[in-house]
């Protein structure tokens, strides 16, 4: 389900959109996304998703498409707090639950990664984030929504995307 927080004590790092660190209740943040989607359309949510990797905090080990996609879940948790504490601790490599995940399942022997996203963020926004992260290292990478009949837009718990790229 899009736009509905899973827990009521989660905050988002506003630095992902503003240029300063400011924590905003996730419920309010998701409501803003819903309004943008309703008023401007799904394309705007995709566009914001494309921009997110420019502003959000990412771990330092991002070096190729694989580590870029793998890092999205870590970055996601680094940019959220629950009950006042950041949801990923790099010192202990531990993650708090409560906001869902961005999956990372590489397809062996292919330039292809399957990512199942179970966040309360909109489908188009998450597709934009994955696209931008892959294109950092593979400018022609593209992202398809697998099994489009299962989508958070229809009230399902998760959407599955396939990230594909070539070396040229
Ligand atoms: Zn979807």
Cβ count near 30 (within 10 Å): 20
Tell me the CA–centroid distance for residue 120 and ligand 1, in Å: 11
Higher pLDDT, 62 or 56: 62
Tell me the CA–centroid distance for residue 34 and ligand 1, in Å: 15
Tell me the CA–centroid distance for residue 150 and ligand 1, in Å: 7
Tell me the CA–centroid distance for residue 6 and ligand 1, in Å: 17
Across the range 72-93, mean pLDDT stands at 95
Using 50, 70 and 90 to split pLDDT, how confident is the model at 100?
Answer: very high
Across the range 112-133, mean pLDDT stands at 97
Q: What is the DSSP letter of 159?
A: E
Tell me the CA–centroid distance for residue 11 and ligand 1, in Å: 23
pLDDT tens, position by position, 44-54 = 999 999 998 88
């Amino acid at each position: 389900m899009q736009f509905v927080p899973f827990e009521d004590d989660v905050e988002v790092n506003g630095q992902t959109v503003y240029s300063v660190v400011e924590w905003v209740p996730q419920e309010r943040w998701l409501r803003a996304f819903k309004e943008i989607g309703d008023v401007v359309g799904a394309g705007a949510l995709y566009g914001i998703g494309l921009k997110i990797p420019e502003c959000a905090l990412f771990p330092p080990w991002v070096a190729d498409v694989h580590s870029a996609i793998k890092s999205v879940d870590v970055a996601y948790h680094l940019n959220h707090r629950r009950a006042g504490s950041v949801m990923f601790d790099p010192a202990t490599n531990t993650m708090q639950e409560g906001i869902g995940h961005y999956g990372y399942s590489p397809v062996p022997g292919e330039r292809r990664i399957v990512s199942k996203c179970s966040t309360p963020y909109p489908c188009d926004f998450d597709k934009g984030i994955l696209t931008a992260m892959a294109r950092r290292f593979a400018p022609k990478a593209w992202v398809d929504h697998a099994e489009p009949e299962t989508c958070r837009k229809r009230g399902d718990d998760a959407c599955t995307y396939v990230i594909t790229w070539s070396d040229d």
